[in-house]
Amino acid sequence: MKITLTTLKKMMSAGEKIAVLTCYDASFSSLLENAGVEVLLVGDSLGMVLQGHDSTLPVSMENIIYHTQCVARGANQAFIVADMPFGSYQESPAQAMRNAAFLMAAGAHMVKLEGGQVMLETVAFLTSRGIPVCGHLGLLPQSVNQLGGYKVQGKDEAQSVRLKTDAAALEQAGASMIVLEAIPAVLAQQITETLQIPTIGIGAGADCSGQVLVLHDLLGVFPGKTPKFAKNFLQGSSSIQDAVERYVKAVKSADFPSVEHSF
Ligand code: KIV
Ligand code: NA
């Protein structure tokens, strides 16, 4: 059965964890959905794991369009989220609308953009025009130069208050999902409890509504430095399909992430 926004909302209400993985091509989109992954994220992490850049900043609209088309061709039921690349939405709601429309036409069911307060107008603009939006809070890879590196966010009181306010405001503006990246597990739990929309954690503890990992981290094929929250599921598995099935199971049972993969 096709997974829709309604499916995801129902899962959240029923307390069933949502399994998300990044995906960039048709072969993997077919494999991942057959292994039980509900949501495929065409992440701008492709700039690092596919293209070899040291950040996500060089990723273009053309890149995300191409990979979204590939993923969409391989998927029959998965819910597809496409990242809006750096520079494709920050200028104005109109710019975001124009570019989000390309991603939806390429086969996405939702777009994801980074940022809180500053993105509210854009989120309201897109969602009121038929484009579901996933927010992204905490560590924002497109702001790595501003942040001074890939660091855990929300560690002090002011930051944690800010993140809670941003999450509530994104929901209010119309977002139907929020990725929480690299924040303390207790903070992610508090945010998740107060929202009516699912939270998807990456380095945000086991109490989010779902989890996401970069596919290449899950398979242990990324040659660069892997973050503390990543886990190689291919280790101890008999195949890639088996590794992904074990990831899905671990997400569903909240065995992943464990404390060693959390902050
Ligand atoms: O680009 C990406 O892969 C992401 C996830 C890490 C959430 O945004
Ligand atoms: Na991303």
pLDDT at 226: 86
The rounded distance, in Å, linking the Cα atoms of 244 and 232 is 10
Structural domains of the chain sorted by starting position, each given as residue range(s) with its CATH number in brackets: 5-261 (3.20.20.60)
Q: Residue 225: its pLDDT value, please?
A: 85
The answer, yes or no, to whether any atom of ligand 1 lies below 6 A from the CB of 45, is yes
In short, whether 227's Cβ falls inside 6 Å of ligand 1 is: no
Per the structure block, which two tokens stand in for 87? 């520079």
Q: How far is CA 208 from CA 59, 116, 212, in A?
A: 28, 18, 10
> Residues comprising the binding site for Mg(2+)?
44, 83, 114
Q: Specify whether the CB–CB gap between 124 and 135 falls below 8 A.
A: no
Return the SS3 of 56: coil
pLDDT at 224: 84
Integer-rounded Cα radius of gyration of the chain: 17
Alpha-carbon distance of 16 to 210, in angstroms, equals 8
Give me the residue label for tokens 């996500």.
56
Name which of 18, 2, 3 is nearest 180 in CA terms. Answer: 18
**Tokens describing residue 169:** 């405001």
One-letter amino acid at 57 equals L
Whether this prediction's pTM lies above 0.95 is answered by yes
Question: Which helix (DSSP H) or strand (DSSP E) does residue 191 occupy?
Answer: helix 185-194
| CB of 39 shorter than 6 A to ligand 1 | no
Q: CA-to-CA distance for 201 and 213, rounded, in angstroms?
A: 9
- Residue ranges in the chain whose pLDDT is less than 70: none
Give the residue whose CA is nearest to atom 5 of ligand 1: 43
